[in-house]
Amino acid sequence: MIATALLALSLVGAGPAVPREILVASLRGEARVPVRRDASGFPVVAAAPLLTALGGELHVDSGWADVVVARQPFRFLLGAPLFQFSSKLLPLAGPASLAGDSLYLPYQFVAEIIPYYLADQYRWDARRSRLEELRGRTTSLAGRAGAGDGARLPNGLRPGHVVTVDPGHGGVDPGNPGTFFPRGVHEKDVTLQVGLLLRDELQRRGIGVRMTRTRDTLIALGDRGGYCTEACDLFVSLHINSLARRRGYTDIRGFETYFLAEARTEDAARVAKMENDAVRFETQQDAVGTVGGLDFILKDLQLNEHLRESARLAELVQHELGGVHTGESRGVKQAGFMVLTTARRPAILVELGYSTNPQDGHFLTVRSSQKAMASSIADAVVEYLLEYERKTGANPDSGAGR
Ligand SMILES: [Zn+2]
């Protein structure tokens, strides 16, 4: 579903598409600006030479960097993947940051944001890594459809959505051992691979992504949901199912999507117990605050409101996954996952398949099927958000584009 989002070329993150330098061609001549990696590996450009080349302005103060290009102000929150334009807070692939006295801006600013919001004045040539100032264009930008209140991404979504992606387990918690995975591959490795692909697919659709982890590290269960509070639309946790050894246990395969509620069936309770068991890997300090009955949490009205939304999101994900998964759809289920209890937004947990089944074991570790799963989950998220925008009146003419 959905056309390619303009704000999401494949360059975000650490793709090979990022050049070593960019060319800025303006009425003042041509300048080269090197592209570097920040501490987290995100591609960035030094703001000073960039703004000199663009004839722009730069001012850093109290945690914000104010950048003016073509008389349009962009505000970057230092250290966080967010920027403000036209009074909207929007997501970035990576943050603007200071190194010494130098400000670094995300490469995305040059390759996506300027050409999108200042399309009247700049054009980005991805093949030549060249940002070109268009001659003789002085059109005011205030009335530009892409920048005003009615701004829409090509897929119909409003810009600014953020999704938290939570690859299950990590670090000393391997998750399930991955009976039919290649040697040495555990649940934590596959959830991370699919999680990173899901990040790419969401960003391609113009959705901002926050990851609970991008490396092989342990994040306390009680902390994971905390990544999705104010500036977050929804929370997706990724896991791989497995069964204990018993007669015929390798026959069971397929995928299921959970949302948080009291477990309805014995099997759902089993899966919840298995995923909650990761708590034993956490240090005492990690565990503080993670204990707290589901009963108590379900009394939280805000969370209750999210239950119906979570169920709908789960339904869409389960449906979309059905289009690519070779195993059976085991349906939408409810269980008391600790990882979901702290999210203050609609939250789901996807069990992508069974590592204890040979076909699933293969399917889950092959890159092409990992990509297909990530893409289908991203499609479901877009569908959900479009539906949500329509329902809340945030996007009355959804689908009409901009
Ligand atoms: Zn798991």
List all residues 6 or more positions away from 86 whose beta carbon is below 8 Å from its beta carbon: 117, 147, 148, 151
Six token digits for residue 154:
């090509």
Distance (Å, whole) CA 182 – CA 358: 11
Within a domain: 77: yes
Cα of 272 vs centre of ligand 1, distance in Å, is 9
Tell me the per-residue pLDDT of 371-400, one tens digit each, with 9 for 90 and over.
999 999 999 999 999 999 998 876 444 333
| Domain annotation covers residue 274 | yes
User: How far is ligand 1, taken at its centre, from the CA of residue 239, in Å?
Assistant: 4
Is 180 found in the same domain as 83?
A: no
Same domain? For 123 and 173 the reply is no
Whether residue 42 is found in the same domain as residue 89: yes
155, part of any domain: no
- How far is ligand 1, taken at its centre, from the CA of residue 190, in Å? 10
Specify the pLDDT at position 299: 42
Instruction: Tell me the CA–centroid distance for residue 172 and ligand 1, in Å.
Output: 13
CA–CA separation, 223 and 226 (whole Å):
5
| Same domain, residue pair 286 and 193 | yes
Kindly state whether residue 1 falls inside one of the protein's structural domains.
Answer: no
Domain match, 99 and 205 both: no
pLDDT confidence of residue 295 = 43
Residues 189 and 127 in one domain: no
Residue in 23, 41, 24 with CA at minimum distance from that of residue 97: 41
- Claim to verify: residue 248 and residue 303 sit in the same structural domain: yes
**Into how many domains does the chain fold?**
2
- In which domain, by residue range, is 44 found? 21-133
How many other CB atoms are there within 10 angstroms of residue 285's CB atom? 8
- Domain-located, residue 37: yes
Domain boundary among the residues 89, 112, 133 is at 133
- 127 and 176 fall within a common domain: no
Q: How far apart are CA 235 and CA 372, in angstroms?
A: 20
Answer whether residue 44 is part of any domain.
Answer: yes
CATH number at residue 204: 3.40.630.40
How many angstroms does the Cα of residue 351 sit away from the middle of ligand 1?
8
Give CA–CA dist 31/348, Å, rounded: 47
Determine, yes or no, domain membership for 152.
no
Task: Kindly give the distance from the C-alpha atom of residue 54 to the centroid of ligand 1, in angstroms, as a whole number.
Answer: 48
Q: 0.75 cut: is pTM over it?
A: no
Please tell me the distance between residue 334's alpha carbon and the centre of ligand 1 in angstroms.
Answer: 15
User: What is the CA(175)–ligand 1 centre distance, in A?
Assistant: 5
> Which of 86, 114, 133 is the C-terminal boundary of a domain?
133
Q: How far is the CA of 155 from the centre of ligand 1 (A)?
A: 32
Residues 45 and 175 in one domain: no
Please give the distance, rounded to the nearest whole angstrom, from the Cα atom of residue 176 to the centre of ligand 1. 7
Pair 253, 364 in one domain:
yes
Contact in structure between 126 and 9 (CB atoms under 8 Å): yes
Look up the CATH number of the domain holding residue 85. Answer: 3.30.457.10
Q: Which helix (H) or strand (E) holds 375?
A: helix 367-391
Distance between Cα 15 and ligand 1 center (Å): 28
What spacing in Å lies between the alpha carbon of 8 and ligand 1's midpoint?
30
Query: How remote is the CA of residue 379 from the centroid of ligand 1, in Å?
Result: 23
pLDDT score recorded for residue 284? 44
Whether residue 373 is contained in a domain is answered as yes
- Residue ranges, the chain, pLDDT below 50: 1-16, 136-148, 284-302, 395-402
pLDDT at 346: 84
Question: 224 C-alpha to center of ligand 1: Å?
Answer: 13
- Identify whether residues 286 and 386 lie together within a single domain: yes
Q: Which residues contact 99 (CB under 8 A, 6 or more apart)?
A: 38
Residues 290 and 176 in one domain: yes
Give the separation between CA 73 and CA 242, rounded to whole angstroms: 52
- CA separation (Å) from 180 to 84, 223, 241, 329, 390? 47, 30, 12, 20, 43
Ligand 1 center from residue 275 Cα (angstroms): 5
Q: What's the gap in Å between 238 CA and the centre of ligand 1?
A: 7
Question: How many angstroms does the Cα of residue 135 sit away from the middle of ligand 1?
Answer: 55
